[in-house]
Structure 1
Amino acid sequence: MTGHELRQQFLDYFHKKGHTIVPSSSLVPQKDPTLLFTNAGMVQFKDVFLGKEKRDYARATTAQKCVRAGGKHNDLENVGRTARHHTFFEMLGNFSFGDYFKEGAIPYAWEFLTEVLKLPKEKLWVSIYQDDEEAFEIWNKAIGIPADRIVRLGEKDNFWAMGDTGPCGPCSEIIIDQGPQVGCGKPTCAVGCDCDRYLELWNLVFMQYNRDASGKLTPLPKPSIDTGMGLERVAAVMQGVLSNFETDLFVPLIRFVEDISEKRYGGNEKDDVSMRVIADHLRATTFLISDGVLPSNEGRGYVLRRIMRRAARHGKMLGLDNPFLHKGIQVVVDTMKPAYPELVDHCEHVTQVTLNEERRFRYTLSLGLELLNKVLSETRERGERVVPGEEVFKLYDTYGFPLDLMDEIAREQGLALDMEGYERAMEEQRARARKSWKGSGEATVDPSYTALIQALPPTEFIGYETLEGEVEVLAIVKDKTRVETASQEDDVELIFDKTPFYAESGGQVGDKGVFRAMGSDGEPVEVAILDTQKPVSQLVVHKGRVKKGTVQRGQKGKALVDPDGRQRTALNHTATHLLHATLKSVLGDHVKQAGSLVAPDRLRFDFSHFSDLDYREFYRIEEMVNQIIRTNMPVKTFVTSLDDALRRGAIAMFGEKYGDQVRVVQVGDFSMELCGGTHVRASGDIGLFKLVSESSVAAGIRRVEALTGPGALEYIQRETERLRSISLLLKAAPPDLVPRLEKLLAASREYEREVEELKARLARAHVEDLLDASREVNGVKVVSARVEDLDAKGLRNLADTLKDQLKSGIIVLGTVEDGKVSLVTAVTRDLIDRYHAGTLAREVAKVVEGSGGGRPDMAQAGGKNPGKLKEALEKVFEIVEGT
């Protein structure tokens, strides 16, 4: 049975049992900053289990893409060294949201394994939580598993929790005995041993309690089920192999590595580890980039970069010095496209991003070698034989330089690495990461908002139809505390029963405006609404300041949105949709939104693309958007099911979380996106679109900024005025500005050439005087003098001339420019065994309160005390005398 057949059989089985097949969610958890990556099947249902979200089904089944390579769940260092650890894997799962419980989950799992997959019952064991008598009874009495094959384990192994608080419960694992031939051979080997004999196949989690902050467990009103079974692990069992890497899900990748390395898998363990690492990491790389993650120096991008560079390093160990990973992306796509056809569309983009990162890593290695050699040189200069651990960690962590290569180069030079210091620095970094990254399930929303949403009805949004409405103040929050009233100049957060104010979402900023009412004392009340936010689903918070009177809970009044701000924001939001569609049209389908800002005064759009825009692309994009504006296409919105919207071709934004019903914004036949924002009625309302900048914000991510409508017109007028000022300054009409500037620049270059020539003549005039002033110290001719009217470059040229004239000697030249000292030191080649120009520069610079350094034959230094230049130049003779 192939891996793809196994996946489909699992989904089909549970579908027949009344479960809804839910597609895999993105590897980037949607709106869940507590997780680096989706690492289990239950992640996309987290809010359902917590009671924050309702679905129209109570049973679900999934084949979920997962990555465990950072944060709390991190298998990276084990990958390649074991038969079953992976960065990317698929988790098969079935879920019950208050529907069936243990009495359903256990028989389903047993039936699928023994009746559908036909695994031998006598080889299957189960583990349960030590106090879970209910699970024991079902396994023993209903299923018929002998008591001696039901193992009771403690909380560490068989009790699952979403976090320190919240839903939790006992779990039961189904285990297969693969036989003593694959075990550790120890007499104590049994279920729970770390060897591969007793292989965990399927974990059934029984969510039946809620744990509070004190640790107290309270039964949940509707217990739920969350199960997970690794596809790769079950595929290995079904295909009769002892390693996941020998299944059909990995064999094509292993063959690919064999072909490019000209090595055979199974030849030796060291090469096998490298092949497994590359095969695994190619899968993770492909799926992560396909889901919108790009290599970077922080967060998810940093983990992806580590995965890619670890694979590249193992390629180097196999003798692959040139970029090769990008060639393997197609192999992953061909292997996985039956289940994930979207990979085909993303293949070119993933390949290009991978190639770019490989090239960047080659550059990093080159830079790292330069920095490593500097560190090794400095270690030797200090008379030490061990490279400090902090320096080792910096080269590894900041520059991505492989540790084993560092160790090899150091040993070649007779030095060792301080590995204890390195481990300390690594642990300090891990501690910082743990402190800054909240673990899975920990709340990131202010508890005061959670309490509000539980106490208040959902806020009704009426802002699509109107910019004002009669509302009631349901709650007032001041300094994170609910209050009954707030007075003039108080900063408050107001929650209304309904609102015309759009809360910040999907890149669109929150509305501003005013709330007006009549106080109980007959005095007018006015609250300036400065921002509108939605800290939790269905709760709209209006942040503002009381300008007049006293606002009270229960007060009724009028909420009015600033119409100009809303209109300008709508122009920019619709223009953002047009820009997105245009970028895909001009640059390719690999373009994906990576972030946006839609404000009244501007729009900003981040997107995936592997190179900067040339001026032709820049203007083509701008012209195409304006063309759509001129055609005045109608902008329509409608609500439909998510499946229907996607079938129609609507673009779903990366990282957004959608319900079963979604709002679609369509601009003619040009653009269709899922969007909850506010828009114009026709593209012509935008008036004008002007791109103002394009830049890089991260590896593989570009950013464009643009203006629309009145803002675009104002920008063009400012630029026109600036052009007029330049024309007046250069005394040339706008059409003649370029020729005029070219003429001026040519003249400027000629003047610079003449100045350099005069400086060279001046320097040559100094040569004879300086040679005459040389002294012989320790049998060495030394020129140490102050030179006027030369900059640092002039000093270097003069030093080179003096070296040629002296044939053998030391030169130190100093000058003062803009109140700062510049020094150049030079040593002829025959003397560099005795004197080091860099060391000489450092010593002399100390006198003028500066620093410097450089090569053995030429170095530079600077200082901030010109008054001590004479003393510094005299110091040269002492240094040469004492060396």
Structure 2
Amino acid sequence: MKTSEIRSRYLDFFAKFDHTVVPSASLLYNDPTLLFVNAGMVPFKPYFLGDEPSPYKRAVSVQKCVRTLDIDEVGKTTRHGTFFQMLGNFSFGDYFKEGAINYAFDLVTGAESAGGWGFDADRVWVTALHGDNETIDLWQQAGIPRERIQERGLKDNYWHMGIPGPGGPCSEIYIDRGPEFGADGGPEADEDRFLEIWNLVFQSEELSAVRAKDDFDVLRPLPAKNIDTGSGLERVALLKQGVANMYEIDEIRPVIDKASELSGRRYGADPADDIRFRVVADHVRSGLMLMTDGVAPGNEARGYVLRRLLRRVIRAMRLLGVQDPVLGELLPVSRDLMRVSYPDIDQAWERVSQSAEAEEETFRRTLASGTVMFDTAVTEAKAARSTALPGDKAFQLHDTFGFPIDLTMEMASEAGLSVDRAKFDSLMKEQKDRARADAKAKKGGLSSHEAYRELREAGETPFLGYTDLDVTTKIRGIIADGAVVDRATDGSTVEIVLEETPFYAESGGQDADRGIITGDGFSLNVIDVQRPVPGMVVHRVEVLGELPLGAGVDARVDAAARHGSCQAHTATHIVHAALRQLVGSTATQAGSYNKPGYMRFDFSSTKGLSEQLKQEVEAVSNEAITSNYAVTATEMPLAQAKALGAMAMFGEKYPPIVRMVELGGPWSRELCGGTHVAATAEIGVLNLLSESSIGSGVRRVEALVSTDAFAKFAAERALVNTLTDTLRVQPDQVVGRVEKLIAQLKDAEKQIAALNAEKLLAGAQAMVSKAVDAGGVRYLGVAVPGVSGGDLRTLAIDLRERLGSEAAVVALVGGDAKPTAIVATNEAARGLGLGAGRLISRACAELGGKGGGKDDLAQGGGTDASGAQRALDAVREAIAQRG
């Protein structure tokens, strides 16, 4: 049974029982505690937490997930994969244990001819929380004999999110794979033979504190009991397809076969190679799905995870003997396998392939740089007569250049060295511990939403600001210091909730509205507007007077500022459309921000815009503005909007009914909840300020609009006028005149530099006379203030040559406030073990800095110019004490 068929059978089964089929959310779900969606229930968290009412009683989904905590275990076991698909059915206050158990058992053991998965009921084992007799009885009623039901403790059979919130006992379903896979005795005996395929969570309690998996406090029963289940699609597939592990199922194995073809090595012939093949197959698929959902390789957060996955693929293929680029060969295989379930892969393919190609080229250069560092570390280890590469060097190669320990160990072995693995592991553990502590702090630092939830239960806050900027309403709630209160005093800053509001809450890149709210005896200056929980708008206000709960008010948005925001937001859509027209469909949105007079737009691209292309983007944008395209907003089903080509923001959660904003009909269509002008001509003019990189694969354009743009143009015109007057040329001659002046200046600087060098070298012979004997070596140490850079190196080399063929060392300290040091040695000195690289370190230590280089010439610097003579003396002392 193909993986895609298992998936469709699951959805069809629960759809028959009135479950709403919910499409997979993006992997980039908007959750501050998560880098990626890592469980099927994540998109439903607001409903389980009570932050948002569920739009359905029953739901079913197949959710894309990524987990990378166990990335180093990938390929070594049958169970660890970074990307996986979680089948889930959910009940929000509807059916509970009996329904969940019966549905699961019927699907798992139902005949294939009737739409089931067709597992033999005699191979099914289940677990339950110790003492949960109700669950045990229900499984027996479903058809599982008591001897195949095992009770386990809180660590195994109680679920919570690791933070205060919903929790409850769970029950897991296992399939017995047979005696060839391990010992008998159920999941308690062997979880390789007895493979878990489904976990049924019975959410029934609200936890107030969570200290560990099995250490938490129960606050109270949940007002409504919920069902949250998760079944690993890949695990079900490996069982139904009769393969040894998840890497050999139909959606993954062909990537292994392609890697085998490229490397000329056979999968199954060597255990070490097999792990590499499985790493390649898993990471190629994970990278494909992450890039499809908008992640670009980078050095932080999500981008770093993707970069690590792709680089592990490249490294694994190198260890398999493939030196040529590989991502362009492997990714298309995974694309063709996954597009059946995820057709959006095809739409993103051009951007994905470009991003992967650029990342592989970058890493190949990085490997070259890292190899230089590796070679240096090997040389130092051998010079110190060590048989092992230091663990801190291996860690530095991993942390700085992305070298995995297995690559470093293999390269070290080729050089006749081992690696201090214990030290490397210790440093890796310290790094992981810091990361876990940061993640825990992030979770623990989240503000309590109890006050918001309490007010949210009274209903949503209708936003009337699309049409009305002045609304008569009343104060529904007041929040001060995180608690709901019944009044606010003069001079305080509090949060308020209105019955309805004209104020736009910051979202979609658009800045929040400002304005004023007035009532009988008080006024409120609105300084920020947010949506802390879905459906509720909270206004942060400064209070003048006494504010009582329930007071009637007039809420008035600053109309001029709102219009400026509308101009900037519509301009953002225009720039997006212009980029897609000129750069291509790969220029998808990666972020934006707009406020009155200013906008910035981030987009996916592996290379920057040329000056000509920037001018074209500005021209196309202004052409759209002067064309006075009508700007319309229409609400429609999400599927209809996507069918019309509406652009959506990666990682954004969209409701079933969305708002599509059009500029000139099909010229620009985007899903957007922001506010806009009625026609593009209201923007006036756009001035593109800059285009730059903000990370690997992500570019940013910034622009001014309306009067701010005009003011910038006016300032530039005044500058040109000043230059024409100063240079006494016409405006079209300014560039040529400035270029000529720059060329003349460079010629003058070269002449001055040449004269200074001649003057410096002319005094070199006089310096040679200052050379002294240091333990049988001629040593010349001179301070030359004001000389630095190339002049200092040239002088050092000249002096070394003048000292002749006898063992000689030259040390110079130049520069000004920040001193520069140079050490040069001749061949005879190096024969005595006097390397410039080591000597420069002694010198720079006295200057408050560091240095390095080769044995014949090394350079460094520092911050303490007063240490010049100490630095020269330190080199002389090191020469005299050699050996």
In the alignment, the residues of structure 1 paired with residue 330 and residue 410 of structure 2 have an alpha-carbon distance, to the nearest angstrom, of 29
The question of 1:691 aligning with 2:688 is answered yes
User: Residues 437-495 of structure 1, C-alpha deviation per residue, up to 9 Å, x if partnerless?
Assistant: 24999783433543542465432322111211223233333444444444443323232
State the shift of 1:201 in Å: 2.1
Q: Is the 8 A contact 1:688 1:708 kept in 2?
A: yes
In the alignment, the residues of structure 2 paired with residue 223 and residue 867 of structure 1 have an alpha-carbon distance, to the nearest angstrom, of 74
SS in 2 for 1:365: helix
What does residue 295 of structure 1 align with? 297
- Relative to 1, partners in 2 of residues 1:773 and 1:163: Cα closer, same or farther, differing over 3 Å? closer
SS in 2 for 1:41: coil
User: Residues 222-264 of structure 1, C-alpha deviation per residue, up to 9 Å, x if partnerless?
Assistant: 3222222222222222222222222222221111111111111
What does residue 42 of structure 2 align with? 43
Q: Is the 8 A contact 2:88 2:230 kept in 1?
A: yes
In the alignment, the residues of structure 2 paired with residue 660 and residue 102 of structure 1 have an alpha-carbon distance, to the nearest angstrom, of 29
What does residue 522 of structure 1 align with? none
In the alignment, the residues of structure 2 paired with residue 641 and residue 602 of structure 1 have an alpha-carbon distance, to the nearest angstrom, of 32
Q: Is the 8 A contact 2:573 2:668 kept in 1?
A: yes
Q: Is the 8 A contact 1:62 1:93 kept in 2?
A: yes
SS in 2 for 1:469: strand
Which amino acid in structure 2 is aligned with residue 107 of structure 1?
N
SS in 2 for 1:740: helix
The question of 1:92 aligning with 2:87 is answered yes
In the alignment, the residues of structure 1 paired with residue 860 and residue 248 of structure 2 have an alpha-carbon distance, to the nearest angstrom, of 61
User: Residues 599-643 of structure 1, C-alpha deviation per residue, up to 9 Å, x if partnerless?
Assistant: 113111111111111112211211111111111111111222222
What does residue 536 of structure 2 align with? 539
TM-score by length of 2: 0.92
Which amino acid in structure 2 is aligned with residue 855 of structure 1?
K
Q: How does 1:395-406 map to 2 (within 5 A)?
A: 395-406=397-408
SS in 2 for 1:216: strand
- Relative to 1, partners in 2 of residues 1:395 and 1:560: Cα closer, same or farther, differing over 3 Å? same
Q: Is the 8 A contact 1:453 1:536 kept in 2?
A: no
What does residue 854 of structure 1 align with? 853
- Out of 703, 706, 711, the position equivalent to 1:709 is 706
- Relative to 1, partners in 2 of residues 1:819 and 1:316: Cα closer, same or farther, differing over 3 Å? closer
- Relative to 1, partners in 2 of residues 1:154 and 1:830: Cα closer, same or farther, differing over 3 Å? same
Q: Is the 8 A contact 2:27 2:290 kept in 1?
A: yes
State the shift of 1:421 in Å: 3.6
- Larger deviation: 43-52 or 773-782? 773-782
State the shift of 1:193 in Å: 3.3
The question of 1:609 aligning with 2:614 is answered no
- Relative to 1, partners in 2 of residues 1:820 and 1:66: Cα closer, same or farther, differing over 3 Å? closer
Q: How does 1:87-486 map to 2 (within 5 A)?
A: 87-114=82-109, 115=111, 116-141=116-141, 143-183=142-182, 185=183, 189-213=185-209, 215-216=217-218, 218-374=220-376, 389-409=391-411, 417-438=419-440, 444-447=446-449, 449-454=451-456, 456-486=458-488
Q: Is the 8 A contact 1:812 1:823 kept in 2?
A: no
- Relative to 1, partners in 2 of residues 1:569 and 1:89: Cα closer, same or farther, differing over 3 Å? same
User: Residues 260-296 of structure 1, C-alpha deviation per residue, up to 9 Å, x if partnerless?
Assistant: 1111111111111111110111100000111112222
What does residue 77 of structure 2 align with? 82
In the alignment, the residues of structure 2 paired with residue 283 and residue 871 of structure 1 have an alpha-carbon distance, to the nearest angstrom, of 59
User: Residues 316-367 of structure 1, C-alpha deviation per residue, up to 9 Å, x if partnerless?
Assistant: 1101123212321111111111111111121222122122222222233233
State the shift of 1:503 in Å: 1.0
In the alignment, the residues of structure 2 paired with residue 572 and residue 206 of structure 1 have an alpha-carbon distance, to the nearest angstrom, of 48
Q: Is the 8 A contact 1:695 1:702 kept in 2?
A: yes
TM-score by length of 1: 0.92
Which amino acid in structure 1 is aligned with residue 656 of structure 2?
D
- Relative to 1, partners in 2 of residues 1:316 and 1:783: Cα closer, same or farther, differing over 3 Å? same
- Relative to 1, partners in 2 of residues 1:538 and 1:786: Cα closer, same or farther, differing over 3 Å? closer
Which amino acid in structure 1 is aligned with residue 829 of structure 2?
L
- Out of 547, 550, 572, the position equivalent to 1:551 is 547
The question of 1:769 aligning with 2:777 is answered no
Which amino acid in structure 2 is aligned with residue 593 of structure 1?
Q
What does residue 64 of structure 1 align with? 63
- Relative to 1, partners in 2 of residues 1:772 and 1:43: Cα closer, same or farther, differing over 3 Å? closer
Q: Is the 8 A contact 1:293 1:301 kept in 2?
A: yes
What does residue 808 of structure 2 align with? 810
User: Residues 840-869 of structure 1, C-alpha deviation per residue, up to 9 Å, x if partnerless?
Assistant: 444455666665443221233546666775
In the alignment, the residues of structure 2 paired with residue 325 and residue 206 of structure 1 have an alpha-carbon distance, to the nearest angstrom, of 43
Q: Is the 8 A contact 1:124 1:176 kept in 2?
A: yes
In the alignment, the residues of structure 2 paired with residue 132 and residue 874 of structure 1 have an alpha-carbon distance, to the nearest angstrom, of 79
State the shift of 1:764 in Å: 4.0
SS in 1 for 2:740: helix
- Relative to 1, partners in 2 of residues 1:347 and 1:125: Cα closer, same or farther, differing over 3 Å? same
SS in 1 for 2:345: helix
- Out of 509, 512, 515, the position equivalent to 2:514 is 512
Q: Is the 8 A contact 2:391 2:419 kept in 1?
A: yes
State the identity as a percent: 40
Which amino acid in structure 2 is aligned with residue 490 of structure 1?
S
What does residue 22 of structure 2 align with? 22
- Larger deviation: 404-413 or 641-650? 404-413
Q: Is the 8 A contact 1:379 1:385 kept in 2?
A: yes
Q: How does 1:590-739 map to 2 (within 5 A)?
A: 590-669=586-665, 670-739=667-736
Q: CA RMSD in A?
A: 2.8
Which amino acid in structure 1 is aligned with residue 5 of structure 2?
E
Q: Is the 8 A contact 1:532 1:541 kept in 2?
A: yes
In the alignment, the residues of structure 1 paired with residue 477 and residue 306 of structure 2 have an alpha-carbon distance, to the nearest angstrom, of 44
Which amino acid in structure 1 is aligned with residue 300 of structure 2?
E
What does residue 213 of structure 2 align with? none
Q: Is the 8 A contact 2:813 2:822 kept in 1?
A: no
- Relative to 1, partners in 2 of residues 1:422 and 1:876: Cα closer, same or farther, differing over 3 Å? closer
Which amino acid in structure 2 is aligned with residue 259 of structure 1?
E
Which amino acid in structure 2 is aligned with residue 239 of structure 1?
Q
State the shift of 1:8 in Å: 1.6
- Larger deviation: 407-416 or 800-809? 407-416
In the alignment, the residues of structure 2 paired with residue 881 and residue 849 of structure 1 have an alpha-carbon distance, to the nearest angstrom, of 23
Q: Is the 8 A contact 1:163 1:440 kept in 2?
A: no
What does residue 756 of structure 2 align with? 759
In the alignment, the residues of structure 2 paired with residue 375 and residue 449 of structure 1 have an alpha-carbon distance, to the nearest angstrom, of 58
- Relative to 1, partners in 2 of residues 1:758 and 1:225: Cα closer, same or farther, differing over 3 Å? same
- Out of 774, 796, 800, the position equivalent to 2:797 is 800
The question of 1:9 aligning with 2:9 is answered yes
SS in 1 for 2:217: coil
- Out of 736, 747, 751, the position equivalent to 1:750 is 747
Unmatched 5+ residue regions in structure 2? 210-215
The question of 1:828 aligning with 2:826 is answered yes
Q: Is the 8 A contact 2:777 2:809 kept in 1?
A: no
- Relative to 1, partners in 2 of residues 1:291 and 1:440: Cα closer, same or farther, differing over 3 Å? farther
In the alignment, the residues of structure 1 paired with residue 311 and residue 458 of structure 2 have an alpha-carbon distance, to the nearest angstrom, of 50
- Relative to 1, partners in 2 of residues 1:14 and 1:265: Cα closer, same or farther, differing over 3 Å? same
User: Residues 809-830 of structure 1, C-alpha deviation per residue, up to 9 Å, x if partnerless?
Assistant: 5353646554565443321123
State the shift of 1:681 in Å: 0.4
In the alignment, the residues of structure 1 paired with residue 785 and residue 163 of structure 2 have an alpha-carbon distance, to the nearest angstrom, of 72
User: Residues 620-675 of structure 1, C-alpha deviation per residue, up to 9 Å, x if partnerless?
Assistant: 21111111111111111122222222222222222222222222211122112121
In the alignment, the residues of structure 1 paired with residue 873 and residue 331 of structure 2 have an alpha-carbon distance, to the nearest angstrom, of 65
SS in 2 for 1:326: helix
Q: Is the 8 A contact 2:21 2:59 kept in 1?
A: yes
SS in 2 for 1:280: helix
- Larger deviation: 382-391 or 294-303? 382-391
Q: Is the 8 A contact 1:160 1:171 kept in 2?
A: yes
- Relative to 1, partners in 2 of residues 1:51 and 1:446: Cα closer, same or farther, differing over 3 Å? closer
In the alignment, the residues of structure 2 paired with residue 717 and residue 61 of structure 1 have an alpha-carbon distance, to the nearest angstrom, of 59
Number of aligned residue pairs: 868
What does residue 212 of structure 2 align with? none
